[in-house]
Amino acid sequence: MVPALFVLLGVVAVASALLVVTTRHLVHAALWLVVTLGAIAGCFLLLAAEFVAWVQVLIYVGAVVVLLLFALMLTRAPTGPQPDLTARRAAPAAIVAGLVGVLLAVTVVAGFRDVRLDLPGGEGAAGQGGSAVGSATATGEAVFTTWVLPFEVLSVLLLAALVGAIVLSRRGDGGLDRLDGPGGLDRLDRPGRLDRPRGLDRLDGPGGLDRLDRPGGLDRPGGLDRLEHPGGS
Amino acid sequence: MPLWWPLLLAALLFAIGVYGVLARRNAVLVLMGVELMLNAVNLNLVAFDAYFRDVLHAGQTFALFTIVIAAAEIGLALAIVLMVFRTHGHVEVDRLRSLADESAHTPAPEAAAPGAAAGREANR
């Protein structure tokens, strides 16, 4: 039962991962990534790592994929099929990836061909007093006794990453204002806004962002109109 | 269940992630390839934890740590991708060839931007 289920989940994971890296729809890639991560979470469950499986569902499927979708939408990713999502160097990339895969697969199969994996979380193992392997109790005890120092270091790393993300995307150093300000997104979505030659230059060119960052530039009435018609208003 | 089943699955996922990182042009899709590779590593860690029956639960704990590092990485990467989009108008990694902010010095750094934007609009 467990081996059959594992093979099924593995086939689903590999197939959807292939779709992630080959699909022509940007949003579909993120959604296929959900399928891949869910199948891997199922594999964790079968490998007696229950808590890791639920953390995988919460953080990967819940947070990381949503962040990726946010990134796709904030970069105005088109929803239709894109013919040029894969670079011209796809063939050498496939050769390199195939070599990596064959090398790793041959190595692990040759090294562990005769090793059986007796899953510790089988029937009846959990009910014997002590906490089952992979449960939240066992994992929590391990994290907060043996691995408590790496855990604290990791919390500092998370804090540093948070500070870094805020510093990179804060207002004032180059214009989240453009998207966050009143009418910012509408201006970008207006048809013909980007098709016009040098349309991007007005925002990206010299003085484009500075005009937005100037104190009072957006707050003054008519501030946005001045941006739409430079020199007018 | 043989031990090499999860290891083979992890190897295949890692190879697919390598292909995604190397072949994709959009930076967000490159990040998806990185996520696939990190998940392959997690699968290895959990499989060996189940095999060794480690009393310290090192494999599962390290898998949790890897998930945390992946979350931190994706948060930072999202900020960087958004900043690249703000300064360049696109997130295609093979068109990001200079490390400096050239838009501060040259007036028109985006020679191909109107054409690419028009193509994107047409596909919408």
pLDDT greater than 70 at residue A215: no
Q: For the residues A113-130, what does the mean pLDDT come to?
A: 63
Q: For the residues A28-35, what does the mean pLDDT come to?
A: 94
Which chain A residues are within 8 Å of B110, Cβ to Cβ? 200-201, 204
pLDDT greater than 90 at residue A6: yes
% pLDDT > 70, chain A: 68
Find the CB nearest B6 among A43, A60, A143: A43
Which chain B residues are within 8 Å of A102, Cβ to Cβ? 15
**pLDDT at residue number A199:** 42
Question: Are A100 and B14 within 8 A, CB to CB?
Answer: yes
Instruction: Determine which of A101-115, A162-176, A208-222, B35-49 has the lowest per-residue pLDDT on average.
Output: A208-222
Cα A181 to chain centroid, rounded: 26
Question: Are B103 and A206 within 8 A, CB to CB?
Answer: yes
Axis-axis angle for helices A90-111, B4-23 (nearest 10): 160
pTM over cut 0.90? no
Q: For the residues A148-171, what does the mean pLDDT come to?
A: 91
- Residues A212/A175, Cβ–Cβ less than 8 Å: yes
Backbone dihedral region for residue A172 (phi beyond 0: left; psi -120 to 50: alpha; all else: beta): left
% pLDDT > 90, chain A: 44
Choose, out of A102, A135, A176, A204, the residue to mutate when testing the contact with B (most B CBs < 10 Å).
Answer: A204
Q: For the residues A31-39, what does the mean pLDDT come to?
A: 95
Cα A165 to chain centroid, rounded: 14
Which chain A residues are within 8 Å of B81, Cβ to Cβ? 71, 75
Q: For the residues A157-181, what does the mean pLDDT come to?
A: 73
Q: Does A77 touch chain B (CB under 8 A)?
A: yes
pLDDT greater than 60 at residue A129: no
Question: Are A3 and B109 within 8 A, CB to CB?
Answer: no
Among residues A87, A28, A177, A198, the alpha carbon closest in space to that of B89 is found at: A198
**pLDDT at residue number A229:** 53
Amino acid at B70: A
Among residues A206, A40, A147, the alpha carbon closest in space to that of B54 is found at: A147
pLDDT digit of tens for each residue in chain B (124 aa)? 889 999 999 999 999 999 999 999 889 999 999 999 999 999 999 999 989 888 888 999 999 999 999 999 999 999 999 988 888 888 888 888 877 666 555 544 444 444 444 444 444 4
Among residues A30, A185, A161, the alpha carbon closest in space to that of B79 is found at: A161
Prediction ipTM score: 0.79
**pLDDT at residue number A58:** 93
Compute CA distances A82 → A16, A18, A27, B24, B119, whole Å.
19, 17, 11, 12, 10
Tell me how far apart the alpha carbons of residues A37 and B64 are, in angstroms, rounded to a whole number. Answer: 14
Choose, out of A112, A139, A178, the residue to mutate when testing the contact with B (most B CBs < 10 Å).
Answer: A112
Element (H, E) at A40: helix A26-46
**pLDDT at residue number A172:** 60
The 3-state DSSP class for residue B14 equals: helix
Q: Give B53→chain A minimum CA distance, Å.
A: 7
Which chain B residues are within 8 Å of A163, Cβ to Cβ? none
Both tokens of B91, joined, read: 């997130």
Higher pLDDT, residue A188 or B24: B24
Confidence of residue A228 (pLDDT cuts 50, 70, 90): low
Longest CA–CA separation in chain A, Å: 80
Q: For the residues A220-226, what does the mean pLDDT come to?
A: 48
